[in-house]
Amino acid sequence: MPKILYFAPEDWAFVSHFRPMAGAAGACGLEVVIATRVHRHAEAIVGMGYKLVPLASRRGSLNPLALLKSVSEMVRIVRAEEPTIVHCISLPMAVLGGLAVRAARRRQPIVLSLTGLGFVWVESGPVAATVRAIVRRIIGYLLRRPGTVCVFENAEDPREFGLEPSDPRVVLVGGAGVDPQAFQCGPEPAAPPVKVALLARMIRPKGIAE
């Protein structure tokens, strides 16, 4: 059976945001393997019928030795699972997982889902600028390999990597989205007052001002 291997940053994020995508892959006849950091959602992932491979690496570290260790761990997973497709979710997973596939010398297609550019694109200063330059070079290197595509949630982010939205290596999706059957539009409530609920970290890049 053909197999898809997902590299995801956290188990809760996969269950919350990407469960329908994995379900669609399974409906297409793919065996689904999730490699992620495990917290409290292992039973949920296994209960969906997917194989779960825990990642030991820590999130958010820029320590070169820690990053090298993460890539080495992912190389071992790729070689052990021998997937037909590797799908890396989030910018860090795209960089590390993409390099792991190349280091493992496998030729399967790679999907790099850059669901958000994160704090590296928000922060200013020499460290953030250096990391941005390195990330751009790595993504460019990965895209030179046939069968690699990048998934973006808006038309602006591809240009951060020198890509146009029309590039055949670019796939645009309309954001993470919600199920319109579960959250249907209704009439606007009487106003004023208008109360808005925002589920996000209370930082300016999340659109607090807007």
Q: Which residues pair with 86 in a beta bridge?
A: 5, 110
Q: What is the pLDDT of residue 176?
A: 63
184-207 burial, b at 16+ Cβ within 10 Å, e below that, comes to eeeeeeeeeeeeeeeeeeeeeeee
Please list the ranges in the chain whose pLDDT falls under 50: none
**How confident is the model over 20-49, as pLDDT tens digits?**
889 999 999 999 999 999 988 888 889 888
Q: What is the pLDDT of residue 60?
A: 64
- Nearest-10 Cα torsion for 123, 66, 32, 76: 150
CA 158-159-165 angle, to 5 degrees, is: 55
CA 45-51-83 angle, to 5 degrees, is: 130
> What's the predicted TM-score (pTM) here?
0.83
Q: What is the pLDDT of residue 175?
A: 65
**How confident is the model over 88-113, as pLDDT tens digits?**
998 889 999 999 998 888 778 899 98
Contacts of 89 (CB under 8 A, 6+ apart): 6, 7, 8, 9, 13, 14, 18, 113, 115
